[in-house]
Homo-oligomer: A and B are copies of this chain.
Amino acid sequence: MCQLLGMNCNTPTDILFSFEGFRKRGGETDIHTDGFGIAFFEGKGVRIYQDDKPCASSPVADLVKSYQIKSKNVIAHIRKATYGQVSLANTHPFMREIWGEYWLFAHNGHLDCQRLFSHPLFQKREDDFYTPVGSTDSEAAFCAILNALRRKFPQKPTTDILFQEINKLTATIRKKGIFNYLLTNGEWMIAHASTLLHYLLRQAPFGEAMLLDDDVNVNFAAVTTPYDKIAVIATLPLTTNEVWQQLAKDEIVMFQEGEIIARYAPDPDHYFTVEEALALAAKVGAAAAESDIF
């Protein structure tokens, strides 16, 4: 299973502390060794760093560390390839421009694209706006969402309407497999869980946090102002002494300025354990590996 990391804040913030623990899962404390990607919004522009080398030992990841980029919206992804060969074109996050904005998308899970594209909403058409470049289910799903949005909305709708529509599209797509994802346009960030995804809202009073994957502490009180609000989203909690909230199965949450501005959770809600989620991923992964989707 791949791992996701996202950050959405009300002030440009350094993701270094979270990224340091996260990147160790790419080949050091865990087995996600098939490349990684991280993308930072800076105004309307995006810095995107990807590598098909293991994250823990990648010089590109070293740059991220030394450069201390501050951003209000960051998405990172460490890949354990299930299908789609290990190559740069298959490395998350994926980026496309829609309505004059860059959107970034990273996915953890597996989707049956044959079943996805047989759905009327997602059937491939000659006038599709977006076509995958690589061979992953993830980029195919991202393009499918964007195509459906552009067909329905020639102009960008309000954030409310956008969230409702993405929620609807997501509900259709998640029936075709496992669909944990992060999506951002540089203002808001949407997180959706099929199996495993956690978030944390950091705000005043800030305290000390300790990384789970590394023997490192940070005292956030020393590096923040009382007005800072930071949402961190990760497949699994990154710190040991903060309260992480798990997203329920099929829950979708929209963050903006470090706060939750919209959410939809099924009733009753269900939370998978890590063991259950890994078992589900293995099951779907095996099924996906047997089919020749592209």
Q: A residues near B, CB below 8 A?
A: 42-50, 52, 59-60, 63, 66-67, 87-91, 95-97, 99-102, 126-127, 129-134, 154-155
Within 8 Å by CB of A90, from B45, B100, B133, lies: B45
Cα-based distance from A45 to B43 in the complex (angstroms): 24
Task: Please state if B133 and A88 are interface contacts (CB–CB under 8 Å).
Answer: no
Task: Please state if A88 and B50 are interface contacts (CB–CB under 8 Å).
Answer: no
Query: A68: nearest residue on chain B (CB-CB)?
Result: B59
Query: A46: nearest residue on chain B (CB-CB)?
Result: B88
Interface of A is mostly: mixed
Cα-based distance from A67 to B101 in the complex (angstroms): 30
Q: How far is the CB of A133 from chain B (nearest CB, A)?
A: 5
Task: Please state if B126 and A155 are interface contacts (CB–CB under 8 Å).
Answer: yes
Task: Please state if B50 and A50 are interface contacts (CB–CB under 8 Å).
Answer: no
Q: How far is the CB of A71 from chain B (nearest CB, A)?
A: 10
Q: Which residues of B contact A133 (CB under 8 A)?
A: 44-45, 97, 100-102
Task: Please state if B44 and A99 are interface contacts (CB–CB under 8 Å).
Answer: no
Q: How far is the CB of A143 from chain B (nearest CB, A)?
A: 9
Q: How far is the CB of A117 from chain B (nearest CB, A)?
A: 14
Cα-based distance from A223 to B197 in the complex (angstroms): 48
Task: Please state if B88 and A47 are interface contacts (CB–CB under 8 Å).
Answer: yes
